[in-house]
Structure 1
Amino acid sequence: MSSDTPYAPPSAESISRAIEALAARNVDAVLVGSREAALTKLRELVPEGCEVFVNTSETLDAIGYTEYMHGNDRYINLHDQMMSQPDPASQREFRRKTTTADYFVGSVQAIAETGEIVIASSSGSQIGAYSYGARRVILVAGTQKICPTLSDAEARTRGFTLERHDRWLEGRGVAPTPIGKYLVMEHEPVVGRISMVLIPESIGW
């Protein structure tokens, strides 16, 4: 599907099926009513005083969480610490440490109604945290990312999402990058480790 052809919003039944399927795979998903409610929910899920890394995300930017966390000294803010490193090599080395953060907040590329979650990344910097390293993972996504099947979710990621990402890079004068790392989360063995906040609108890619 071309990035000029957006995915249709899922039905209420589709969202309900996805939430139930995610729960069966030990992902605690909740549907909030708005961007503002998503921001409030994140503030509830990530307690003040904790160590937290906020991954780069259009979704987190859109709901105001990136701005809320920037310079916020009520948390041990690993992203701010990373950006304060003196050079790119030091930032990359610090980035490795963030994969074991107490709380790691980010987004995903697609969610199947059957409960699988698809994540694609150029560098793979968030993959280790999502799959194992972080003590708690909080994922935020618009419900337009819900797809009927895993095959549909993978097609969305490799088509629509990748095209949108490449256009975003080009708009900033950066050459498009291929998918470097690809993760399908099928089951989380640690109950309560992963939470997902769903927003009922088209937000992010």
Structure 2
Amino acid sequence: MNRDIEVVVQSLARRNIEARYFESLPELEREILKTVPISATVGIGNSQTLKKIAISEKLKARGNVVFDKTVASNKLESGELSKKAILSDWYISGTNALSREGHIVNIDHTGNRVAAMIYGPEKVIVVVGVNKIEDSLSAAIDRAKNKAAILNAKRVGLNPPCVELNKCVDCRSKDRVCNNLVIIEGQVDKERLKVFLVNDNIGF
């Protein structure tokens, strides 16, 4: 673990958030499967990071009941899976950005992902690639607005102004994806939410 990662881990600890660091994706995947009980229901946040390691499929294959809206065949099913995910035993999500000071920053379209991260599931794992670490809170918010939100809009076929301009203009478009900006600055229960850092440029 290099010094920059140590700083982030220490910053999170001061905010009552435990962080673990993994050198590789296979190591990360093994730890998730080891940490989450087979008997647990698991909600999955819509995350390119989690899709890369196919954690939803691996949890299902070993017997977990998994609520993952990304596998829904229609909007109604997607909504139902999102609601069940918020009430699951465990919730696993990526994040848009993480500051060196320990701020966990996310921008959501509908808010289901950030809702589950904040309240609902008994336990939460937030998976973060080192590419998402920013020097400050303002830089982390900038990353969420001017990188992650734009790429997510493109991914789902929406067309807010930022897609063409390649920057956030605080629009009021019907296609706006950055409707919910949430900054996790700490937590009451140290055992609830944990951050799993991985030495990989994963997700956006």
Q: State the TM bucket, normalised to the shorter chain.
A: 0.7 to 0.9
Q: Which residue of 2 aligns with 1:200?
A: 199
In structure 2, list runs of 5 or more residues that go unmatched. Answer: 160-174
Q: Which residue of 2 aligns with 1:19?
A: 9
Matched residue SS, 2:82: helix
Alignment pair present for 1:75 and 2:64: yes
* RMSD between superposed Cα atoms in Å: 2.0
Percent sequence identity is 22
Q: Judge conservation of contact 1:115–1:186 (CA < 8 Å) in 2.
A: yes
Following superposition, the deviation at residue 40 of structure 1 comes to 0.5
CA distance in 1, matches of 2:90, 2:20: 18
After superposition, the C-alpha distances for 1:131-189 in whole angstroms (9 at most, x for unaligned) are 111110101110111111111101111112222223323xxxx2234212111000111
Alignment pair present for 1:34 and 2:24: yes
Alignment pair present for 1:60 and 2:59: no
Alignment pair present for 1:168 and 2:155: yes
Q: Which residue of 1 aligns with 2:117?
A: 130
After the TM superposition, which residues 88-107 of structure 1 pair with which residues of structure 2 at under 5 Å, given as runs?
Answer: 88-107=75-94
Following superposition, the deviation at residue 73 of structure 1 comes to 5.6
Q: 2:50 corresponds to which letter in structure 1? A: L
CA distance in 2, matches of 1:93, 1:37: 32
Q: Which residue of 2 aligns with 1:157?
A: 144
Following superposition, the deviation at residue 191 of structure 1 comes to 1.5
Moved more, 98-107 or 58-67: 58-67
Q: Judge conservation of contact 1:95–1:125 (CA < 8 Å) in 2.
A: yes
CA distance in 1, matches of 2:104, 2:18: 13
Following superposition, the deviation at residue 26 of structure 1 comes to 1.7
CA distance in 1, matches of 2:145, 2:113: 18
Moved more, 139-148 or 56-65: 56-65
After superposition, the C-alpha distances for 1:72-116 in whole angstroms (9 at most, x for unaligned) are 361122338x848xx533542442232121100011000011111
CA distance in 2, matches of 1:64, 1:89: 24
After superposition, the C-alpha distances for 1:36-94 in whole angstroms (9 at most, x for unaligned) are 1110011011111111112221101112313313x4361122338x848xx53354244
Alignment pair present for 1:187 and 2:186: yes
Q: Judge conservation of contact 1:26–1:194 (CA < 8 Å) in 2.
A: no
CA distance in 2, matches of 1:150, 1:158: 12
Q: 2:144 corresponds to which letter in structure 1? A: T
Residues 64 and 89 of structure 1: CA distance in aligned 2, closer, same or farther (over 3 Å):
closer
Residues 186 and 168 of structure 1: CA distance in aligned 2, closer, same or farther (over 3 Å):
same
Matched residue SS, 1:204: coil
After the TM superposition, which residues 39-54 of structure 1 pair with which residues of structure 2 at under 5 Å, given as runs?
Answer: 39-54=29-44
Higher relative contact order (CA 8 A, sep 6+): 1
CA distance in 2, matches of 1:94, 1:162: 22
Aligned length: 187
After the TM superposition, which residues 111-126 of structure 1 pair with which residues of structure 2 at under 5 Å, given as runs?
Answer: 111-126=98-113
In structure 1, list runs of 5 or more residues that go unmatched. Answer: 1-10
